[in-house]
């Protein structure tokens, strides 16, 4: 069974993502970014993909620590393919995160658009080569 790790502080978006992964037959664990910050550096191990949702309030909550968070995002991308889902346009402060991602999506709170995004991720990762042969873009 495929496993996804979804990192989202927006509960509405997290709920939609969880429902879509479950509908596709995947196991999905939803955690907040605070949990990842406080957790260990191997938080992404054992997953087929990681979805990191950056909502519009993310900068107000973590703006002063974005540069420090880059190392966490890089570590996550070494564990499994990382998908960045931005609510709307992404801010330039995330520029260093873009190279860590397998794909970047711009979404919003509209359920249909977010569901399509997760469908694309499920489709891409279901066809992917086995987890053991994953090679991170971060080397």
pLDDT tens across the length of the chain (139 residues): 899 999 998 888 899 999 999 999 999 999 998 888 887 656 788 999 999 999 888 878 887 788 888 999 999 999 999 999 988 777 788 889 999 999 999 876 567 888 999 999 999 998 865 555 555 555 5
pTM score, two decimals?
0.87
Which DSSP state fits 25? T
Q: Nearest 5 degrees, angle CA 26-CA 27-CA 30?
A: 120
In the CATH hierarchy, which fold is given to the domain comprising 3-127? Rossmann fold (3.40.50)
Distance CA 22, CA 16 (A): 10
Long-range contacts: 102-108, Cβ < 8 Å, 24+?
102/49, 102/77, 102/137, 107/13
């Amino acid at each position: 069974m495929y496993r996804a790790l979804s990192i989202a502080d927006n509960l509405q978006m997290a709920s939609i993502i969880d429902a879509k992964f479950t509908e596709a037959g995947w196991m999905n664990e939803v955690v907040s970014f605070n949990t990842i910050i406080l957790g260990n550096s191997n938080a992404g191990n054992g997953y087929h993909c990681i979805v990191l949702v950056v909502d519009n309030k993310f900068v107000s909550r973590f703006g002063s620590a974005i540069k420090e968070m880059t190392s966490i995002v890089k570590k996550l991308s070494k564990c499994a393919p990382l998908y960045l889902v931005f609510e709307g346009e992404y801010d330039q402060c995330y520029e260093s995160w873009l190279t860590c991602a397998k794909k970047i999506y711009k979404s919003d709170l509209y359920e249909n658009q977010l569901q399509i995004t997760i469908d694309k991720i499920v489709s891409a990762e279901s066809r992917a080569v086995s987890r053991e042969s994953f090679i991170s873009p971060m080397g």
